[in-house]
Amino acid sequence: MKALSLAADALVGQPMFQIIDRARELEDAGRSIVHLEIGEPDFETPQHISAEAVAAIQEGDTHYVSSWGILELRQAVQDATENSRGFRPDLDQVLVTPGANIATYIAIRCLVDPGFEVLIPDPGFPTYRASVVAAGVTGIPYQLSEENGFRISADLIESQITSRTRLIVLNSPSNPTGAVTPPEEIRRVYELAQKYDLYVFSDEIYARMIFDSVAFSSPGSLDQCRERVIISNGFSKAFAMTGWRLGVMIGPAAIMAKMMLFLQTTLSCVPPFVQRAGIAAIKGDQSPVNNMMQVYQRRRDLVVSGVRNCPGLSTPTPGGAFYLFPSIEQTGLSSNEFGRRLLEEAGVAVVPGGHFGPSGEGHVRLSFASSEDLLEEGIHRLRKFCEKL
């Protein structure tokens, strides 16, 4: 058999799916497993959203549409952006994508040539590093420190900028830490991009998922996504639509035109009935989303309190998303060993922090997107496991 391409050999994927596979093997063998490893809302998609997609299919809205996305959804995104971020993008700044995950790869491919650099958060969502590798460019991590609450630091980003830097990736609220970076620091990062003539890719998939009185800030509000900021957002998390694979990008018109061609070349278009569901999500009844956020906040408080009662563990309180990123350093175990033993011995699946970058070592990620009953059982097992170490 002939060798594969260098690009294929370089693919790394997302390591948490390996954890899911092992957890399911244990379940198939009769073990009880509490799943805290995946960012999958346990809520069903709100009924009015699903009903719109069903109606669209029944009406025959199942054919090719523009690679940009259907007009009505893009207009709904214009309205939502104006309401949430204070500016109204032009229509040719809005591109509908098959989920938000692929947006990272598309942006890197369209903005960065091999041999140049992308600054990515560490710890950060594994797709950032995987996309950098797949695109054949160089990923340079910038550290998110626990001492700073895992919030983005413009000073640390600037220390990593070189003559080969082309793109800064931001993510607030953060996966895996749930940290929300203050508006003043987002502005400072944007000013660095201006100073060094860089692009900013802002992953805002958790923008609707903010707790307490924490303020969400988008760098797109600073240049209205007309010069250097590209926003990536999606419907998976806040609207419990992970399987629908629907996302949106907003950016400078010329860049969006190239990204549209990338999608057109690889995908053709996002199904129109899925897009109509997106319109219902944005423009329809928001009470299901508000109710989900109230539940997530109760779950967050439950899990934070529970983890802090586990010997050897400590954790900050996340300001957004649905993740906890506790420190396990006092247990003396590596992240991989802690995660492996917790799964095998206690039946609790989490993600070792090292999977999110070198600075994630000494931590694990817990998702509190599961029911309160499961979270309570998971915390009970976690505490018993820590007491035995």
Residues 156 and 261 in one domain: yes
Q: What are phi and psi of 37, to 5 degrees?
A: -100, -20
Residues 214 and 356 in one domain: no
| φ, ψ (nearest 5 deg) of residue 333 | -100, 150
Domain count, the chain: 2
3-state secondary structure of 25: helix
Nearest Cα residue to 77 out of 219, 231, 237: 231
Of the candidate ranges 10-14, 128-132, 150-154, 341-345, the one whose mean pLDDT is the lowest: 10-14
Q: Say what the pLDDT of residue 215 is.
A: 85
Q: Is 53 part of any domain?
A: no
67 lies in the same domain as 94: yes
Same domain, 169 and 72: yes
List the structure tokens of 281.
């999500």
CA pseudo-torsion sign 62, 235, 356, 363: negative
> Residue 132 domain-assigned?
yes
Find the domain containing 40 and state its range: 6-44+287-388
Mean pLDDT across the chain: 96
Long-range contacts (CB closer than 8 Å, 24 or more residues apart) made by 39-44: 39/175, 39/237, 39/321, 39/322, 39/323, 39/367, 39/369, 40/242, 40/367, 40/369, 41/237, 41/240, 41/242, 41/292, 41/322, 41/369, 42/369, 42/370, 42/371, 43/240, 43/288, 43/292, 44/240
Q: Residue 52 falls within a domain, yes or no?
A: no
Q: Give the pLDDT of residue 5.
A: 87
Count of Cβ atoms closer than 10 Å to residue 178 Cβ: 27
d(CA 283, CA 73): 10
Three-state SS at 125: coil
Q: Does 300 reside within a domain?
A: yes
Residue 7 has pLDDT above 90, yes or no: no
State the CB neighbour count (10 A cutoff) for residue 246: 25
pLDDT reading at 96 higher than 90: yes
- How do residues 128-164 score in pLDDT, each as one tens digit? 999 999 999 999 999 999 999 999 999 999 999 999 9
Residue 50 lies in a domain: no
CB 209 within 8 A of CB 238: yes
Q: Does the residue 155 lie in any domain? A: yes
Residue type, 197: D
pTM for this prediction? 0.95
Residues 270, 326 within the same domain: no
The answer on 131 and 154 residing in a single domain is yes
CATH of the domain at 81: 3.40.640.10
For residue 2, pLDDT beyond 80: no
Question: What's the pLDDT tens digit per position in 200-257?
Answer: 999 999 999 999 888 899 999 999 999 999 999 999 999 999 999 999 999 999 999 9
